[in-house]
Amino acid sequence: MIRKILRDDPAPLRDAAESKLAKSSVAAAPARTVEDLLHELQVHQIELEMQNESLRQAQLSLEESRDRYVDLYDFAPVGYITLSRDALITEINLTGAALLGVERRNLINRRFASFVAPEKRDDWYRYFAHAIAHDDNQEYSISLQRDDGSRFHARINCQRQIRAGKPPTVRIAITDETDRSNAEEELRIAATAFESHEGMIVTDANGIILRVNQAFVSQTGFSADELVGRTPEFLRSERHDTIFYEQMWKTLRENRSWQGEIWNRHKNGKVYAEWLTISAVTTSAGQITHYVGTFSDITQNSEAAAEIHRLAYYDPLTQLPNRRLLHDRLNQALTASARSGHYGAILFLDLDNFKMLNDTRGHDVGDLLLIEVVRRLHTCTRAGDTLSRLGGDEFIVLLEDLSERAEEAAAQVKQLSNKIINIVEQPYHLKDREYHCTVSIGISLFYDNDETIDALLMHADLAMYKAKNAGRNTTRFFDPEMQLALDRRSTLETCLRHACAREQLQLFYQPQINSRRGIIGAEALLRWRHPDRGLVQPHEFIPLAEETGLILPIAQWVLETACAQIKAWEAHHSTRDLCLAINVSALQFRQVDFTTRIKQTLEKIGANPARLKIELTESLVLDNVYDAITKMQELKAIGVEFSLDDFGTGHSSLSYLKQLPLNQLKIDRSFIRDLPVNSNDAAIVEAIITLGRTFKLNIIAEGVETEAQRDFLQHQGCHDFQGILLSRPVPLDGFERYLELSYG
C-alpha cells in the first residue's frame, strides 16, 4: 500500500517531511532522516483513509438498517398506530392506513374512534382509558368501519408508551380477522348442519367411517363408537345385489355424487328404507379425499302423506272437513241430486256471541266450546251427512238424499235444525264454570246442479244473518226475496259512493227551542236525494255507509257543510248565536286524527268553535272512555260543545259520566213517546233531569210531539226541546223561513 502511494505521487509527502525537519531545533541532533518522516506521514495518511472508509461503511449499514426498519414498520402484516392521550392518531404505518382505507397523510390528528363501529364505541373508550392508565398489554376484538361504510372484524393490542418529559401515548396493533371470523362462522354453520335431523356420515376416500351425527346413530341403532372405523357395508339389508352397488360407485366416481333409495338394516334387525345422497369431497386438483352421505328415513312417507292430506283438507282443532274438502263434497252432492232427483240442503251455523267468550275467557276456553259443540253436532247428524268447519265459529252441515218434494225436504231440514238448536243451547261446563251458547242457522235447499257452490253458500250465509236479525237462536230459510234485497243493497252502495261527488247529499235542520219559545240552535240531519229513488231515509243508507267505510268521507262533508253554515250565520244578528249540532259516527270518532280534522276544518272555514256542538252516543263514548275523554277535552279547550245523545238507552256508568266534559244530556225519544201516561218513562225522565242538574248539565229532550209532553218536561225542569211539535227537519231555506216567522 505504501509503495503504491509513493509510486503514485511521492512529491507532496517529501515536501511535508523537509518542512517538518527544517522547523525542528538546530541544536538537536538529527535522529531521523527525511525518509523516516516521509514514511511516518505515509502510514498516518493510510490510517486516516481506513478510518474514513470504516465510517462510510458504518453509515451505509445504519442507513440500510433504517430502511429495513421503515420497510418492516410500513409493510408489516399488522397495522401499527400511535395515539395521543386524546386518542388522536399521531403516527400510522402503511398497513394500518390500508386497513382503514384512508391515505396516511389524511389520518394524522384524526380521532381513532371515528373508525370504530358506532355500537362498539363505548367499548373502545373503555379499552383506551384502561390502556392510557396501565402498563399491561391488553387484546380486544372489535368491529371497525371505514369511511365508505364497509366493516371488518379486527383484533387490537393496546400498550402504553412512556417517553421522558412527554405525555404518555398508546401504541395499538390491528390485525384483520375477518377471514378467520368468517371461517369460524362457516365451521359453526357446518357443525349445525351436520347435527341436523337427517342422518349424516363422513368417510375417507376408502369408505372408512370417520364421523357420524346423532341422527344417524338414532336411525341405525349403533353407537358412534360401533360405527367409526368400519365401512357402511355392515348395514346392508341384502335387498340390493352386487350390480346395484357397482353402479352406485361408478356413478359416484364419474359424477362425484349419487342419490337414490336404499334399504339398510337396523341394529335390531329391522329393515328400513332411506333416501341416500352421497357427495364426494375433492381437492383443488380433483382428488377425492372424503365422502359425505345424508340419509332420510322414508318408511314413514305414507304416514307423512296422510298427515299432509289431513292438514290440507281438515280443520286442525275439530278434525272436521275444511272449506276445501267441503267444496269437493258439495260438488259431488249437486251431481248426485241431479241424478237422483232428491233435494239436498246446506245449513250455515254461526254461534251467537262467541266473540264475547273469546274476549272475556280467552281463546283456549273458546276452543273448548267449539270442540264440545262439534261433539254435540255429531250426535244430531246422520252417518252420510257432512259436518264442516269454515273457520272461527262458523259451521256447515251438508244434507243429502232428502225428499223429492220441496215441502217435505224443508220439513226434514227444519226438524234437524230444531234439534241442533236444542242441543247447542244446553249448558256447557268449561274450566269449572258454566257457560250458555246459542246458534243461528241459515238454510239453503238445492235441487240438481243448476246452482253454483259459491251461490249456495252465499244464500245460506244470507239466511243465517236473517236469523241473527230475527233475534238469534233461530232458523231462517233462504228465499229469492233475500237475494233481491242483497242486489238492492249492492246497487245502493254503488250509488252512495257517488253521492258526495254528484252533490246528492243535503243537510236538513231541526230547530231546538227553549221554554220561552226562543230558537237556541238546530240539529243537522243528513239526507240523500237520489235522482231516481227520491229522498232516501237515513236508516236505509247510514248503516250501509258505516259497514262500507263510506261514512268517513260523508262525515267530513257534513262537518265542512255545518261549519260553513255556522260561518254564514255569524253575519246575521238573528242567527249568530245559534248552535249547530252534528252527529258523529263511531268509525269517525275512533280515527286517530279526529280532533285534528275538526280543528283544521274550523280554522279553514273560519267558523266559531263555540257554535259547533258534537253529539255522541253512550255506546260510542263507553267503548273507550279514556280515549273519548282525551279527544273531548282537546276539542272543548277550543270551545266545541258536546251533547250525550240517546241518554238512558245504553249502560251508563256514573263514574265515567262525571269524567266526561259534557255540556248537555239529550233524553232519548223512546222515553218521551208515552209521556206523561207511562209512569215508568216518567220516572226515568225525572231521574235523568235530576242527574243532569247534579252534574250541572243542560238537558234537552228529543222527539217531543205533544203539548202534554212538553208541559211535563218543563214542569220537571227540562227547558229545551226538539221534535215535530215544534218543527220537522227541513232544508236550509225552510229553516230560515222558520226563523223569520219566529222572530217576526
Q: How many Å is the maximal CA-CA distance in the chain?
A: 172
In this structure, the answer to whether residues 86 and 126 fall within a common structural domain is yes
Looking at 68, 91, 107, the residue that finishes a domain is: 68
In this structure, the answer to whether residues 449 and 473 fall within a common structural domain is yes
Is residue 366 assigned to a domain? yes
Is residue 487 assigned to a domain? no
Report if pTM > 0.85: no
3-state SS class at 635: helix
Q: What is the pLDDT of residues 444-464, one digit of tens each?
A: 989 877 778 888 999 999 899
Q: What's the length of the chain? A: 744
In this structure, the answer to whether residues 637 and 704 fall within a common structural domain is yes
* Domain that includes residue 133, residue range: 75-182
CATH number at residue 434: 3.30.70.270
In this structure, the answer to whether residues 341 and 211 fall within a common structural domain is no
Full DSSP string of 207-240: --EEEE-HHHHHHH---HHHHTTS-GGGGB-S-S
pLDDT at residue number 638 = 95
Q: Which of 417, 419, 420, 408 is nearest to 343 (CA)?
A: 408
The single-letter code of the amino acid at 380 is C
The fraction of the chain above a pLDDT of 70, given in percent, is 85
In this structure, the answer to whether residues 446 and 574 fall within a common structural domain is no
CATH number at residue 545: 3.20.20.450
In this structure, the answer to whether residues 122 and 97 fall within a common structural domain is yes
Q: What is the pLDDT of residues 34-93, one digit of tens each?
A: 677 777 777 777 777 777 666 666 666 555 555 554 556 676 778 889 999 888 999 988
Is residue 314 assigned to a domain? no
In this structure, the answer to whether residues 605 and 665 fall within a common structural domain is yes
Q: How many CA atoms lie within 13 A of 227 on its CB side?
A: 25
Looking at 446, 478, 510, the residue that finishes a domain is: 478
Is residue 504 assigned to a domain? yes
In this structure, the answer to whether residues 29 and 85 fall within a common structural domain is no
Is residue 311 assigned to a domain? no
Give the chain's mean pLDDT: 84
The answer to whether 522 and 507 are in contact (CB under 8 A) is no
CATH number at residue 286: 3.30.450.20
Residue 235 has pLDDT above 80, yes or no: yes
* Beta carbons within 8 Å of 544's beta carbon, 6+ residues apart: 489, 492, 493, 496, 550
Alpha-carbon distance of 315 to 390, in angstroms, equals: 8
Full DSSP string of 416-465: HHHHHHHHHTS-EEETTEEE---EEEEEEEE-TT-S-HHHHHHHHHHHHH
In this structure, the answer to whether residues 472 and 501 fall within a common structural domain is no
Is residue 660 assigned to a domain? yes
In this structure, the answer to whether residues 258 and 292 fall within a common structural domain is yes
Residue 203 has pLDDT above 70, yes or no: yes
Is residue 556 assigned to a domain? yes
Alpha-carbon distance of 226 to 214, in angstroms, equals: 13
Q: Dig out the grid coordinates for 485 from the structure.
A: 234485497
In this structure, the answer to whether residues 169 and 207 fall within a common structural domain is no
Q: Produce one character per residue of 666-702: b if its CB has 16 or more CB atoms within 10 Å, e if not.
A: bbbbebbeebbeeeebbebbbebbebbeeeebbbbbb
Is residue 153 assigned to a domain? yes
Alpha-carbon distance of 462 to 524, in angstroms, equals: 34
In this structure, the answer to whether residues 500 and 585 fall within a common structural domain is yes
Q: How many CA atoms lie within 13 A of 378 on its CB side?
A: 11
How many domains are contained in the chain?
Answer: 5
Q: What is the pLDDT of residues 414-436, one digit of tens each?
A: 889 999 999 999 999 988 888 89
